[in-house]
Amino acid sequence: MNFQCDHSALLPLSVKRIVITGAKGMLGQAFQDVLERHAPMATVLALGKSDLDIRSSDQVLSIADFRPDFIFHCAAIVNADYCEENPDEAHAVKVGGTRNIVELALRTEAKVFYPQSFLIYDNQDLPITETTSPNPLSVYGRLKLEAEQIVAEALPQSLVVRMAGFFGGWEIDKNFVGKFVPHIAKLIKAGVQSIEVGDRIWQPTYTNDLAYNTLLLLANDRSGVYCMASHGQASFFDVASEITKLLAIDEHFSITPASLTKVSITEKAKRPEAVIMENRRLNGEGLERQRAWQNSLAEYLDQPYYRSMFT
């Protein structure tokens, strides 16, 4: 990670015992990477779905013996369209699973970190801050909000971070950047020279930046709700155009904007047209460590995993 981060800032976490649920996912993996780099002495129990299914109360409570100080609750079903079509399964994981995690935290007195999604918002006045009332448009958003409320009510010392949409993890990146880059690599090989990309507005944010900044909050004993996003805003079209520039393929491949209606017609879950968050509380407390999305995207793409797709 090249951005300005204080290498000693996370040292208080070195003596902590940390459970990560959903540890094989994008955010769970980023926590492990950042902890390894900045607090390598922390005792981390990183559990993927095959190690721990959060729907099973017995499996979750069996972790009590580990005596965690923190539980980073990253396990979830994150495909909003899948949740729309499978609400019972989504409820069992997001709400049922979170209740089990809360029970574990109550038994062990562990502090829970809950990553919240920007999809709990509708087309509200921008920018969104910690005092903006959520109003989810989808099953995904409603269940995420219900789970956050369960955590906050049972565990007033918990930390909730409402995060922008992210990229990270290279081969496990199932969001826009992770899907788009291999897709255009295939198109270029097939001789295609342009593609249409939608114009919904978001704040593409690097998982490693989110993990570092969240760990900084925990190292400083913070609780409650924070908004966290990269600096700036971008449509998917903007991000796609930046990707072609950064990968130096913009001369052979062009991106044209597709209207939002054309994109949303294929989606099952309703999404807001634009969610722009302001890191107001982070800034107010001097704990903001985000950067311009173009800078973190450049760092993320400058890796053999992506570069090799175009050689």
Ligand X SMILES: NC(=O)c1ccc[n+]([C@@H]2O[C@H](COP(=O)([O-])OP(=O)(O)OC[C@H]3O[C@@H](n4cnc5c(N)ncnc54)[C@H](OP(=O)(O)O)[C@@H]3O)[C@@H](O)[C@H]2O)c1
What's the closest the beta carbon of residue 139 comes to ligand X, in angstroms? 13
How far is 178 from 23, CA to CA, in rounded Å?
18
Which residues inside 13-32 make contact with ligand X, applying CB under 6 A? Answer: 21-22, 24-28
Q: Which of 97, 136, 178, 198 binds ligand X (CB under 6 A)?
A: 97
Comparing C-alpha atoms, which of 246, 164, 239 is closest to residue 199? 239
Among 19, 42, 76, 145, binds ligand X (CB under 6 A): 76
Residues 6 or more apart in contact with residue 135 via CB below 8 angstroms: 120, 121, 122, 124
Binding mask 119-148 for ligand X (x = CB under 6 A): -------------------------x----
Provide the mask over 170-209, with x wherever binding to ligand X is found by CB under 6 A and - wherever it is not.
Answer: -----x----------------------------------
Q: 159 pairs with which residues across the strands? A: 113, 224
Residue-by-residue DSSP string for 120-134? G--S-SSSB-TTSPP
Of the pair 5, 77, the CB lying nearest ligand X is at: 77
Contact present, 120 and 144 (Cβ < 8 Å): yes
Cα–Cα distance measured from residue 79 to residue 95, given in angstroms and rounded to the nearest whole number: 15
Residue nearest to ligand X (CB): 25
Binding test (CB under 6 A) with ligand X, winner from 16, 110, 115, 160:
115
Q: Does 301 bind ligand X (CB under 6 A)?
A: no
Count how many Cα atoms sit within 13 Å of the Cα of residue 222 in the half-sphere of its side chain. 21
117 binds ligand X (CB under 6 A): yes
Among 20, 54, 71, 282, binds ligand X (CB under 6 A): 54
Minimal CA–CA distance to 222: which of 163, 162, 157? 157
Q: Which of 134, 136, 141, 165 binds ligand X (CB under 6 A)?
A: 165
Cβ burial of 53 (10 Å; 0-12, 13-18, 19+) is middle
Q: Please give, one letter per residue, the 3-state secondary structure of 160-221.
A: EEEECCEECCHHHCCCHHHHHHHHHHHHHHCCCCEEEEECCEECCEEHHHHHHHHHHHHHCC
Compare residues 138 and 253 and give the one whose CB is closer to ligand X.
138
Nearer to ligand X, 22 or 68 (CB): 22
**Segment interacting with ligand X (CB under 6 A) among 75-83, 189-197, 252-260, 263-271:** 75-83
Residue 301, helix vs strand vs coil: helix
Q: Which of 34, 60, 75, 102 binds ligand X (CB under 6 A)?
A: 75
Provide the binding-site residues for ligand X, judged by CB under 6 A. 21-22, 24-28, 49, 52-55, 74-78, 93, 97, 115, 117-118, 144, 163, 165-166, 175
